[in-house]
Amino acid sequence: DTAVSQTPKYLVTQMGNDKSIKCEQNLGHDTMYWYKQDSKKFLKIMFSYNNKELIINETVPNRFSPKSPDKAHLNLHINSLELGDSAVYFCASSPSGGSYEQYFGPGTRLTVT
């Protein structure tokens, strides 16, 4: 009965590679998010989708491309990985927008070597 799930949990890859992280929620929420948490624990929003439509796109390099095939799934594809991309990436969902409880996934720890 996992609410928000992400795969993989750990991802170790070399600079220059392309990788994807998948996220699924079974809460029936309309809105999903991607956050990046760096080594200092800062939580920064990257993208937000509402019912498959992109509504928030922060200042993120265009190497990062989110895709939402349906409102229960939000994937993140990263091209040409760089050392600075190493972080924990959290997916989250909420009933509608940022003014309601956000349910976070377990996180994906990405290490770029």
Partner 1 sequence: GENVEQHPSTLSVQEGDSAVIKCTYSDSASNYFPWYKQELGKRPQLIIDIRSNVGEKKDQRIAVTLNKTAKHFSLHITETQPEDSAVYFCAASITFGNEKLTFGTGTRLTIIP
Residue 108 in the binding site for partner 1 (CB under 8 A) = no
Among 19, 4, 22, which Cα is nearest to 75's? Answer: 22
- String of contacts with partner 1 for each residue 10-49, x by CB under 8 A: ------------------------------xxxxxx--x-
d(CA 113, CA 31): 33
Smallest distance from the beta carbon of 15 to partner 1, in angstroms? 26
Residues in region 53-82 near partner 1 by CB under 8 A: 55-56
Smallest distance from the beta carbon of 88 to partner 1, in angstroms? 9
- Maximum Cα interatomic distance, the chain, rounded to a whole number of Å: 38
Whichever of 64 and 90 has its CB closer to partner 1, that residue is: 90
DSSP 17-55: --EEEEEEE-S--SEEEEEEE-TT--EEEEEEEETTEEE
Omega cis (within 30) before 8 = yes
Give the residues lining the site for partner 1 (CB under 8 A): 40-45, 48, 55-56, 90, 97-99, 101-102, 104-107
